[in-house]
Chain A
Amino acid sequence: MLRLFIITLLGILGTAHADTLTLWHAYRGAERTALETLLAEYETLNPGYSIQPRAIPYDGFNSKLEAAVPRGHGPDLFIAAHERLGTWVPLGLVQANPEPITDVPKAVEQALFHEGQSYGLPLAFKTLALFYNRDRITTPPADTNALIEMAKSERDAGRIGLAYQATEPFFHAPWMHGYGGGLLQDGSVELNRSGAVRALEFAKDLADQGLIPEEPTSALVTQLFNDGNAAMVINGPWFLGEINPEIKLGVAPLPTISETGSAAAPYLTVEAIQVSAHSQNADAARALAKWLTETKQSVHRALKGRQSVTAASAYEDPRLSSDPILSAFRAQLEHTQPMETGAWMGSSWEPLARAIRRVMRGAHSPQAALDAAHQEFQVVTAPPPPPSNPWPYICVAALVLLGTVSFIVRAAWKQRAAMREMVHAYRWIAPAAISMGVLVIVPFVVGAAVSLFAHRDGDWTFVGLTHFIDILFARDWPLTSALSFWFTLVVTIMWTAANVILHVGIGVALAMFLRAPWLQLKGIYRVLLILPWAIPNYITALIWKGMFHRQFGAINALLDAVGIEPISWFSQFSTAFAANLITNTWLGFPFMMVVTLGALQAIPSDIEEAASIDGATGWQRFWAVTWPLLKPALLPAIVLGSIWTFNMFNIIYLVSGGEPDGGTEILISEAYRWAFTRGHRYGYAAAYAVLIFGVLLIYSKTTDRILTRKAT
């Protein structure tokens, strides 16, 4: 125990030895066990090599990889989906393959090409297919007409015909490709091709006929299928682990589009094992990668890990070719569209998702929605602004620095006597001040400096204040667009104000009740009411999101019980905003309640009693006596609370996700989107962050006179 304690405490840095190969992956469950079994086998076959597999949570995988590899802390090998090659290649994270890839279908080989070079060895692929309930569907539909007929008879029997996440571009893509509306054609990317418009009309038609569920989330799709309420589902291999074993499962390739005669083609993701460009052991790493892709190992991964492996020869094994699920995915592989590796690919999701949702809501026609999406896409992927001359900025920065330093020195000089007298105070405050300076202020200044640079595909250009000008003068969007800074700022201010009012109102009201001497069970109420504070908020946010579901959420069920029409929470601004607000109020009032309870203790109860003897009602007494005494104690908590709410990213991101059309986005979640879902425009995101800081600074200026009032 002690040894463990010491080792953990030291947290030794994982330095790679010459004979050690580290491998990062994000596999879980059976896939992971199969991989680790193979790696252990390789170690016995090749004594002298120690292989260290490390499972990294998927959420942190890419950012961790991109931070660690260039600084020499990365792995020798990593397993990841191919579509981020467009980021990794310019960053110099991966090594190109010295020889062509063999024994794989064409689509797989094609997926691993980025700008004429191929990277990594393919292990497995993921793509969508049709899952069906064999009790309901005897023969899977060959084309979309058959699909619609089957879905209609299910609908007429009171069930859902086809469940899939219709509003997610990834799940809509099979139709888009089947109608010939692929994004990249003849070297140009367009979101509003006529094929894409027709595909969207098709999907809207499915919705209008009541063949697919409303607001189809992945949880809903799973539940419908597991309860036997959906006969067909479009989903990927990850769905297999969630299926109720009592359902008689069939898997088939997606149907052909009747109108065009082409197959519905989902996106193809190839999981490849990449050799890090910084590996000290590249040859050994490549040998291991190659071994993992060989037929025998592929068969093992397919059978034990339930992976759809890419090795063509593996499917000659009778155990694979007779497996209905693996062979269905193998058949689907022939009709897929490899995910593009260009950085623009990542920027296409958000505008497309918005377009699909607009159409499904009936707010736009498919053509208008896709035209708007294409325009948004063009703004997001616009080439960086021309580089600026850094010298004027350096001069200004130097002057500002000089001015600040001389101001501080002058101020210090003026008060040197007082400072000398108070030297002990500085000693007391030094530890906190130094650690804050190093670990908070320095990173922030560095991060803020990033706002002066534009980032595209690993290249940085100095652009000066261009981002700020673009944002503040709403050059990319009209001022009234949900994507403009000013619109988002207004929403953020509304969000903060509404939250703080509710938190304080509910918190103070509960605290007043909970302190009344005549109230019984006080302790129990108090304990239960602070529970929301104790649970990590990303968990409760997801729970609330589920409760707001249009068709199946608990809140609409409750409204229905009292005779109110169910509300489609995320399809209009007011209700989506309310959903976020309700969630965050639930999370935020306990803090204010506890602060109020503490502050109330300091108010002598005889003052209030005197007022009540004078005949004041409870309400009058509160406003005349208690509130004026409470206010000064609550103000600092209110200021802090409003700053936290202003930057409350988790709730917005997880509950409304900005719906509808980005309208409920707040500044911090907008910044996050620019950094991570809109082509990694870190500079632009940093400019947002600096502006957020500026807004809060102005806000605190107006309140800090109260806050820093002399204590003695």
Chain B
Amino acid sequence: MNRPSMTKMVLIHLGLIITTVAVLYPVLWVVGMALRPGQAFSLDPNPIPSSITFEHFASVLGTETADGEWLFGRQLLNSLLVAGITSTVGIILATTAGYAMSRWAFPGRDAGLRIFLITQMFPGVVMAIPLYILLDEMGLLDSLVGLSLVYATTAIPFCTWNMKGYFDTIPIELEEAAWMDGADRWTIFWTIVLPLARPALVVTGLFSFMTAWNEFILAATFMNKETSFTLPVVLQSYVGDYGTEWGHFAAGAVLVSIPVMILFFALQKHLVAGLTAGSVKG
């Protein structure tokens, strides 16, 4: 493609810079609020605070249980565990299902794909109480595993669609050759297909991770103790019935967002390549 003229180039950069500033402005504001002294919600159009303090970060990070255990660390560990289990379960279930749906035209496949899509349409508002009873019956209430399972199932439809879309782009010839050589299905899947599908695995994992990392309504309902809360629940607890501790809330928000941002930056190449969202290749 030809290089456009200088004026055009400047205009394009200008457009991109304006968009980027518009995107960054609210983000800067959260950071500014986290660094500004006091707990008030700032209405100052200038996101950069006049004086800076790290006390909000210190008090959010420094919470302790009655026994002197480091509470924030424990909750961070909970969040990491829940997000980790969710991604693992999500990847395993979505990859196997997506692979089967991509490779084999079994009766019921189309219906299955449609049902997966349909589950995305269930409004969460009716699900919380039945899920509570269900988890209770399964003995998984107040357990990180139970919470992770619930998150994994909310992420599976998107992930399955995405995995199927990606598998569709991988030529089947390699697998057929291996099949001729007598390899079994699992070996083919494990040694040939999965390595090729790495970008899509990354996206699937990231998506499940984020589902679990940001959710707080179900977590607050299912988990009982402060020591079993995840970070979004902690964040939510700075929002009181009348007043909100905005300084703490913003500092917590920054802390919660940092791991996801790191993941995004680290994985952004794969993100572009692996996000097919079930795109169909003719």
Contacts and interface: CB of A to CB of B under 8 A. Distances in A.
A530 B264 contact: yes
Contacts of B128: 63
10 contacts: A57-B233, A71-B132, A223-B42, A418-B106, A428-B100, A429-B97, A439-B150, A518-B3, A557-B45, A598-B271
B154 A440 contact: yes
Contacts of B102: 711
A480 interface: no
B239 A432 contact: no
Interface string B1-44: 11110000100100110011011111101100000001111110
A671 B261 contact: no
B257 A536 contact: yes
Contacts of B1: 516-518, 605, 608-609, 612
B92 A534 contact: no
Contacts of B142: 11-14, 73
B214 A536 contact: yes
Interface string A253-283: 0000000000000000000000000000000
B240 interface: yes
A643 B221 contact: no
Given A696-B121, A712-B105, A220 B43 contact: yes
Nearest to A218: B243
B272 interface: yes
A586 interface: yes
A536 B158 CA distance: 19
A553 interface: yes
Interface string B210-224: 100010110011001
A14 B93 contact: no
Contacts, number: 390
Interface in A524-570: 525-540, 543-544, 546-547, 549, 552-554, 557-558
A80 to B, nearest CB: 10
Given A8-B81, A60-B233, A546-B42, 8 more contacts: A223-B43, A226-B40, A241-B39, A425-B104, A450-B126, A518-B4, A540-B26, A707-B280
B78 interface: yes
A447 B126 contact: yes
A627 interface: no
A18 interface: no
- 3 smallest CB-CB distances across A and B, nearest first, come from A447-B126, A60-B220, A11-B143
Contact of A708 (B113, B276, B282): B113
B83 interface: no
A599 interface: yes
Contacts of A219: 40-43, 246
A419 interface: yes
A71 B149 contact: no
Given A433-B97, A433-B112, A595-B275, A60 B221 contact: yes
A424 B185 contact: yes
Most B C-beta atoms less than 10 A away, residue of A68, A534, A640:
A534
Contacts of B43: 219-220, 223, 546, 549, 552-553
B49 interface: no
A517 B2 CA distance: 9
B48 interface: no
A459 to B, nearest CB: 16
B238 to A, nearest CB: 8
A223 B43 CA distance: 8
B56 to A, nearest CB: 13
Interface string A115-127: 0000000000010
Contacts of A183: none
Nearest to A557: B45
B225 to A, nearest CB: 6
A244 B36 CA distance: 13
B272 A594 contact: yes
B156 interface: yes
Q: Which interface class (under 10, 10 to 19, 20 to 34, 35 or more) fits B?
A: 35 or more
A533 B19 CA distance: 15
A710 interface: yes
Given A685-B125, A689-B125, A707-B117, A442 B275 contact: no
Contact of B273 (A244, A598, A697): A598
A637 B117 CA distance: 12
A536 B77 contact: no
Contact of A57 (B20, B104, B113, B220): B220
B192 interface: no
Contacts of B198: none
A76 to B, nearest CB: 14
B3 A238 contact: no
A693 interface: yes
Contact of A672 (B22, B92, B125): B125
Given A439-B150, A711-B281, A536 B129 contact: no
B93 A435 contact: yes
Interface of B: 1-4, 9, 12, 15-16, 19-20, 22-27, 29-30, 38-43, 45, 66, 74, 77-78, 81, 92-94, 96-97, 99-110, 112-134, 136, 139, 141-146, 149-150, 152-154, 156-158, 160-161, 164-165, 168-169, 172, 185, 210, 214, 216-217, 220-221, 224-226, 228, 232-243, 245-246, 249-250, 253, 256-257, 260-261, 264-265, 268, 271-282
A516 B12 CA distance: 11
B132 A637 contact: no
Contacts of B127: 440, 443-444, 447
Contacts of A517: 1
Given A11-B228, A429-B100, A60 B74 contact: no
A528 B23 contact: yes
Category for how many chain A residues contact B: 35 or more
A222 B40 contact: yes
A444 B277 contact: no
B134 A438 contact: yes
A242 B38 contact: yes
Contacts of B42: 219, 223, 546
A561 B55 CA distance: 34
Given A431-B96, A439-B134, A599-B279, A531 B27 contact: yes
Question: Which of B15, B92, B172, B241 counts the most chain A CB atoms within 10 A?
Answer: B241
Contacts of A53: 66
A686 interface: yes
Q: Which of A63, A238, A598 has the most CB of B within 10 A?
A: A598
A45 B112 CA distance: 63
A594 B271 contact: yes
B129 to A, nearest CB: 6
A60 B224 CA distance: 11
A432 B160 contact: yes
Nearest to A618: B4
A608 B1 CA distance: 8
B279 to A, nearest CB: 4
A4 interface: yes
A639 B117 contact: yes
A586 B23 contact: yes
Contacts of B100: 425-426, 428-429
Contacts of A688: 123
Nearest to A602: B169
Nearest to B270: A598
Contacts of B134: 438-439, 442-443
Contacts of A686: 126
Nearest to A674: B125
Contacts of A707: 113-114, 117, 278, 280
Contacts of A636: 161, 165, 277-280
Nearest to B189: A428
A436 B122 CA distance: 12
Interface string A51-80: 001111111100110011001010000000
A675 interface: yes
A164 B139 CA distance: 48
Contact of A535 (B27, B96, B106, B144): B27
Contact of A586 (B22, B40, B126, B235): B22
Interface in A676-712: 685-686, 688-690, 692-693, 696-697, 700, 704, 706-712
